[in-house]
Each structure stands twice: as C-alpha cells, then as structure tokens.
Chain A
Amino acid sequence: KAGVTQTPRYLIKTRGQQVTLSCSPISGHRSVSWYQQTPGQGLQFLFEYFSETQRNKGNFPGRFSGRQFSNSRSEMNVSTLELGDSALYLCASSLGDRDGNTIYFGEGSWLTVV
C-alpha cells in the first residue's frame, strides 16, 4: 500500500508569508505527527493529531499550527515566516491506537524562507 505522502516536496517562500504543508498518511492510520529537521536543532517534534484532535504538542510558537481532517489527512501551517523556519518538515503516521506503534515517515517537505 502507499506510504506517507507529503506535498509539496520543495517550496520557497518570502519572510512574512505563510505556508501550508500537506500530509496523507498510510491508509488506516489515524495518527499523524509532524517534525522539523534543521542542521542546528536536529529533529524536533511539532505536534501530533489523532482522530482530528491534537493529542500532543511540542515547544514551538503559535505561528505553527496544524489540523487533521476526517480522512486522517493533515496539514500544518506556518504563519509570518522567519528565516529560521527554513527546514525539512517531516510527517509521520501510525495506527496511533496504542503505545509504541511503529511510525512511518514521509519524504518530507523542504521549505526555504528567503
């Protein structure tokens, strides 16, 4: 079956703009989580959604937000972009119904803020 799909794969935005990234999980998976990967900070957890509800949230400013739809697809939005938001944004999905579920990652969305 299809893996985790993220769109767009690459995008360039200007400081101050906003961006929306999309993630389609593996069929049957109800949990979607988002991570930011940068050379300086490594991999950092943004938030997780399960059955359309935010279940967990990392330490990111309110400019970072997300949502999940009834078909489990998820979007994350970053408003008022800053240069430091340039990163690889990874989406991951799992069944989400118990601890320790195996988590599968997408190929990521590369965001460059200029």
Chain B
Amino acid sequence: AQTVTQSQPEMSVQEAETVTLSCTYDTSENNYYLFWYKQPPSRQMILVIRQEAYKQQNATENRFSVNFQKAAKSFSLKISDSQLGDTAMYFCAFMGQNTGNQFYFGTGTSLTVIP
C-alpha cells in the first residue's frame, strides 16, 4: 500500500519570503504521479503542481516549484515570494498507475503567510 507523509503540521512564513513544505512517500511502483493541492478556508481543493515520476526535471508553476528526489521518495514544494493568498492547507498526494483516479493523501501542512 502507498503511504504519504507530511511531517510538518503547521508552518508560517513572512510575506515575500520563501518556504518549503516537505513530503515523503512509500511505494513499490516505478511509474506514478505526485501532486500538491492547496485547500484554502473555502475547502475547495486546488491543484498547485503535478509531477510525473518518469520525468527527471522538476515541475514548476510560476512561484511554485518542486524538488523531486525519486530515489529518496521525496517530493517537497517550494513557494517563492509568498503572498497572503497562499495561506491554506497544503496536501501532498500520490497516484499510482492502473489504479484509476485514486489519490493517497498526506495529512496536510497548514501554511500561514504573515504580513
């Protein structure tokens, strides 16, 4: 079974600074997909970034980038130039191959951006 671990329940960062959220996972699969979702107080899950395991290049989306270390099974999210609107719960998620659209989620990291 797949497991996803987020070891930082809460984090805070000053506005305009950079913060990194950690995520590790455990799987025996070789091909899979990793995601970071953001859940603001509205509770709607919003996709931040996705990474295909077979791609060595780290994914980036504007101020968001990941550090994907396949051998270490690590998938951290870096948020640059943090903005107040980044305040939210962040979930790391794993999706294997041939499992339909079943996510395995971590427990989340609550990020607060301080003005």
Q: Do B44 and A48 have beta carbons less than 8 Å apart?
A: no
Q: Do B100 and A104 have beta carbons less than 8 Å apart?
A: no
Taking CB as reference atom, which chain B residue is nearest A92? B101
Q: Do B47 and A56 have beta carbons less than 8 Å apart?
A: no
Interface size grouping (class) on chain A: 20 to 34
Residue of B31, B37, B44, B50 with most chain A CB atoms under a 10 A cut-off = B44
Interface: B45 (CB within 8 A): yes
Residue of A42, A43, A55, A96 with most chain B CB atoms under a 10 A cut-off = A43
From 2 to 59 in chain B, residues with beta carbon under 8 angstroms from any chain A beta carbon are 31, 33, 37, 42-47, 50, 52
Report chain B residues within 8 Å CB of A107. 42-44
Interface: B103 (CB within 8 A): yes
Q: Do B102 and A58 have beta carbons less than 8 Å apart?
A: yes
**Among A33, A90, A104, A105, contact of B102 (Cβ-Cβ < 8 Å):** A33
Taking CB as reference atom, which chain A residue is nearest B107? A42
Interface size grouping (class) on chain B: 20 to 34
Q: Do A43 and B91 have beta carbons less than 8 Å apart?
A: yes
Taking CB as reference atom, which chain A residue is nearest B50? A102
B25 vs chain A, min Cβ distance (A): 15
A3 vs chain B, min Cβ distance (A): 9
Interface: A74 (CB within 8 A): no
Contact flag A43-B101 (CB < 8 Å), given A100-B95, A106-B44: no
* Cβ contacts B92-115/A at 8 Å (1 or 0 each): 000101111111111110000000
Interface: A88 (CB within 8 A): yes
Q: Do B105 and A55 have beta carbons less than 8 Å apart?
A: no
Q: Do A102 and B43 have beta carbons less than 8 Å apart?
A: no
Q: How far is the CA of A42 from the CA of B91 in the complex (A)?
A: 10
Chain B residues within 8 Å of A, Cβ to Cβ: 31, 33, 37, 42-47, 50, 52, 91, 95, 97-108
Known: A33-B102, A48-B102, A100-B50. 6 other contacts (CB 8 A): A42-B105, A48-B101, A103-B101, A105-B44, A106-B44, A108-B43
